[in-house]
Structure 1
Amino acid sequence: MNIQPLRTILATSLTLLLGACMVGPDYHRPDSPAPPQYKELPGWVAATPAAEAPKGDWWTTFNDPLLDELEPQVSVSNQTVQQDYANYEAAMAEVQVARSSLFPTIGIAGSVSKQRSAAGNVGSGVEHLKPVSTSGSLEGNVSWAPDFWGKVRRTVEESKANAQASEATLANATLAEQVALATAVIDLRVTDANIDLLQRTVTEYQEYLRVVANQDKAGTVPPSDVITARTQLENAQSSLLALGISRAQYAHAIAVLVGKTPEELDIPHDSNLPNLPSVPAGVPSTLLQRRPDIAVAEREMAAQNAAIGVAIAAYYPSISLSAADGFAQSPLSGLLHVANHVWSLGADVSQTVFDFGARHGQVAAARANYEAAVANYRGTVLTAFKNVEDDLSGLTILSQQADVLDSAVRNATRGAEIAFNEYKAGTVDYTTAAIAQTTRLSTEESALSVRQQRLVDTVSLIGDLGGGWSAAQLDEATPVAANAPAH
């Protein structure tokens, strides 16, 4: 088969394409103001960007065996993460589809047919059948629409940015689910600690009731003291039972976060709270690279910028080239003989002359969508700064509150002991002792709640700092199978 015409058309078109331009604006990320330091860190000196930022398995800093066991399962078993991974794979496939338009479509076609017709003198009534004849053809064809104005390249640019946005969305979803799991584990641990606290309290209240009942039998205290002590005990028992509901719900939530049914995951009681790590916040400007939600907004902005070029390209003519080269013969014998060689070259040009503002509207819409993406990007950055500032202020104040409550717990415990001893000595009524006991329990619960909030805010800070992720991780080509969630 003579392919010289095909080579000629491809070489000519490629030469034209290489000299072609891309219409529409080239992408440049707009500036987004970042403060030199966080407001809640006065006097902090900027260090190397992200030098001490959380990296990799950030949850290990909490030194909790349940977190260490379950957190790796989020990226492979969590259904939200799997859904976003599938969306990312679809986006990467769209990039491949867009890129294919840069190249010719090459095909081959062949046909064979048999026919036989009648022959004879017209009108004589004498007819006979001709011999069966076989005909056939074998043809190669090429069609191509050269991207003279850059429409296809802008579409590839748009699809690639969308794919990177999907990849960042996957990272953001994974981080969000990891943060949710860490928070649920902390809540479960605190609930177990509360259960231990109330169990100790119930035991103490049972002892208080025994003492009051003995004094009532001796006739040294009014009957109302027994009722007060029994009511106090029953309220504590009721609160202890209610904690069972919370614990079950946290355990169920943890199971779902790691892609299991609640029946598949049994979490033993453990009231040891995770360690409270120190998390360096770094410089605010590093958030632009460390938060995947900011990367999503930035890549969406790039995609919308490319979409402007796609819309502008509609103003220019569409040009398509075609070529065919092959053989045709009837009868079929000798099909590939040079005498049966056929070829063709063709070109089509189309241009919209009047569309009554359709293209203008499409370009205007694309520009407006880009401006909306810019606003979304800057809003996402501002929200990121706010989130970190909230976390830092919360941790600072909670640290001060924890110190005060630690002292309050010691005083309340001592006060409850003194009040009950005074009651046994007959110098105060039971109401005074009961109030002191209730105050001690309430103060201990408040101290435990502050410890819980400090842990939760630390997890939140790590998440708001990006959890060790970096925009440099955005893939340039195809997904890495080793990082794929299990299906």
Structure 2
Amino acid sequence: MMKNSFFYVLVSCSALTGCALKTPPGWSDILTDRAKGKIPDQWTGTTQSGPVVPNWIRGFGDPRLTKLVQQALERNPDLVAAAAKVEASQAAVRIARAALYPRVAGGAIGERHGRELSGDLGLGLDAPNLGGLGRGVETAGADTRSIDSSSQQWVYGLGIGASWEADVWGRVRNKRAAAKSDSEALAADYEFARQSLAAQTARAWFSAIEASQQAANARETLSLYDDFLKLFEVRKEQGVASDFEMAQVNTRVAGAKDVLHTAEGAREQAVRAIEVLVGEYPAGNLKTSSQFPSLPRNVPAGLPSQLLERRPDVIAAERRVAAAFHRAKEAKAARLPRFALTATGGIGSAQLDGVGALDSFMWTLGSSVTQPIFFGGELKAVEDVRKAEQRAAMAAYTGTALRAFEDVETSLTNERTLRLREGVLSEMVTASGETVRLSRDQFDTGKADMFVVLRLSGESLAAKIQLAQIRASRLRERVNLHLALGGGFSAEKSDK
């Protein structure tokens, strides 16, 4: 009868543990109605139709940039640390999953016992019992009375035990599901870190090219100023030029030198940033290009709603909502009864020298039910904490999703604005360059003043600086758009 009852308990608990967990809310359930109702069918900015294209870094057609990004993905210390966190989270999932299975442990004992008696021997008195000073092993030795003055014995034993908690209410499974969701969130964070690292490397590369062009423009203008400075020095010796005029020329020369030094410093800073990103010492020795790569055509942006299912940081926020959901369920289940099964067994032997041995085999099977009764409100407080964390995670998801939409819309708007500005500044640079050329021709024929040429040369330098800034900004904004869309890419192994 007892065997049948035990079997019934075991089967009942196993059946209950098979109940499926509740599904955590998806993005359509997490977003507020106001935010969800405002998602348009198409982006407001101008885009190319079609799905988001991966491997966007190759779209710039710059092999050196592609190689730098590959090196950064392989060597960057921060990315390596992020990958290790993902690996640790996967191990945490296995730890949480282990609680679903029985726990089995074994043990062995081998001891030598001895006793020396003195006093009223032969009177049959019991020897003093010192209790569990050691392992608390109870032996079956005879000779516990004061007949012999000494005795020695060996005690051997092997045992094994197992215990299993029936996950009736899903507490352990929710704990495992929360750990799995956390791991998936970290994996999404890692992917977003990869894309962000690639974007950061590309932006630094374009900034280095921009600084190189600014330095080249400054050197060209400075060369022109130096020619006029030498001419003014000759004229001053001849008494034709005044100190006031010389001071004006020197001012423009100093201004061009300042532009040059600023550009060279900006280039060194960008180069060191790239070297750190690829895991190298920031020595500033990286060779950069002097020309911008061609800007790829308009980027296919997909549909706004698809962004929530593709962009890694949004996916990570959604997985954290799922983790908080399962932790709330785990905390609720912790207030309900726990059902456990235990089983132990073992063999032992006690051998008294010169007398004999006593062998034994023991086993136990048991089940228990534990119901929390009074914990000072701790369990209810834990449940309240988990529910609050779930609400916080849902609010954080909404914020992350809205910022993702903002990133895309802002990048699309900036693309259009920067494209228009580049067209205007290109015309300005062409016109100002022609103006400087004509003014120099007029100066050579005595029809124009030298300071007119200097002023027009300064305006031409300013226009060239602005044009280089806009071109670099367009490239960086294109990188921002790719990052905002979450297109992703795969990188091949590079030569280390």
Shorter-normalised TM range? 0.7 to 0.9
Distance across 1 between alignment mates of 2:58 and 2:489: 16
Residue of structure 1 equivalent to 2:74: 76
Identify the residue that residue 192 of structure 2 maps to in structure 1.
172
Residue 352 (1) aligns with residue 359 (2): no
Deviation at 1:72, TM superposition (A): 1.0
1:101 aligns with 2:99: yes
**Any conservation in 1 of the 2:432–2:459 contact (CA below 8 Å)?**
yes
Of residues 283, 287, 293 in structure 1, which corresponds to 2:313?
293
How many residues are aligned here?
456
Larger Rg: 2
- Report the equivalent of 2:83: 85
Counterparts of 2:467 and 2:21, CA distance in 1: 60
**Contact 1:23/1:149, CA 8 A, preserved across alignment:** no
Q: CA deviation at 1:160?
A: 0.1
Select 1:388's aligned residue among 394, 408, 415.
408
Q: Does 2:277 correspond to 1:276?
A: no
d(CA) in 2 for partners of 1:183, 1:326:
68
**d(CA) in 1 for partners of 2:90, 2:222:** 60
Task: Out of 367-376 and 338-347, give the one that drifted further.
Answer: 338-347
Deviates more, 1:167-176 or 1:429-438: 429-438
**Which amino acid in the other structure matches residue 44 of structure 2?**
K
- SS of corresponding position for 1:121: coil
Q: Pick closer, same or farther for the CA change 1:45–1:83 going to 2, 3 Å.
A: closer
Q: CA deviation at 1:22?
A: 5.9
CA contact (8 A) 1:91 1:162 kept: yes
- Residue in structure 1 matched with residue 203 of structure 2 by the alignment: 183
1:344 counterpart SS class: strand
Q: Partners of 1:384 and 1:140 in 2: how far apart?
A: 56
Q: Compute the displacement of 1:113 (Å).
A: 2.0
Q: Match for residue 230 of structure 2?
A: 210
Aligned counterparts of 2:334 and 2:186: Cα–Cα separation in 1 = 27
Distance 1:10 1:402 in 2: 81
Indicate how the Cα distance of structure 1 residues 213 and 9 shifts in structure 2: closer, same or farther if over 3 A, else same: farther
Cα distance in 2 for partners of 1:83, 1:18 equals 42
Distance 1:318 1:16, change over 3 A: closer
Between the aligned partners of 1:332 and 1:169, the Cα distance in structure 2 is 66
Q: Which range moves more in the overlay, 62-71 or 102-111?
A: 62-71
Match of 2:23 in 1: 26
Instruction: List per-residue Cα deviations over 1:76-104 (Å, max 9, x = no partner).
Output: 21121112112111111110110000001
The counterpart of 1:328, out of the listed 342, 348, 355, is 348
For the residues of structure 1 that align with 2:372 and 2:492, how far apart are their CA atoms? 47
Counterpart in the other structure of 2:123: 122
2:348 is the alignment partner of 1:316? no
Q: Deviations over 1:273-294 (max 9, x none)?
A: 1221122222112211221110
Match of 1:37 in 2: 42
TM (normalized to structure 2)?
Answer: 0.84
- Distance, in Å, in 1 between the alignment partners of 2:397 and 2:371 is 37
CA offsets per residue over residues 43-79 of structure 1, 9 Å max, x none? x6854xx3xx2313x2122122331221112222112
Residue aligning to 1:475: none
Which residue of structure 2 lines up, in the alignment, with residue 402 of structure 1?
Answer: 422
In 1, Cα distance between equivalents of 2:116 and 2:294: 97
Correspondence list, 1:193-208, <5 A: 193-208=213-228
- RMSD of aligned residue pairs (Cα, Å): 3.0
Structure 1, residues 1-36: CA drift from partner, whole Å, max 9, x if none? xxxx99x97996365223337698531214142321
Helix, strand or coil at the partner of 2:251:
helix
Residues 94-117 of structure 1, C-alpha deviations (whole Å, 9 max, x = no match): 101100000011111111222233
Q: How does 1:464-475 map to 2 (within 5 A)?
A: 464-468=484-488
Q: What is the CA distance between 1:219 and its match in structure 2? A: 5.5
Residues 469 and 45 of structure 1, relative CA distance in 2, 3 Å threshold: closer
* Contact 1:142 1:323 survives alignment (8 Å): yes
Provide Cα deviations, 1:315-340, integer angstroms capped at 9, x if missing partner. Answer: 2112222111221222299xxx9973
For the Cα contact (< 8 Å) 2:27–2:318, is it kept in 1?
A: no
Give the conservation status (yes or no) of the 8 Å contact 2:124–2:147: no
Cα deviation per residue 1:347-373 (whole Å; 9 max; x = unaligned)? 232212234533333222222211111
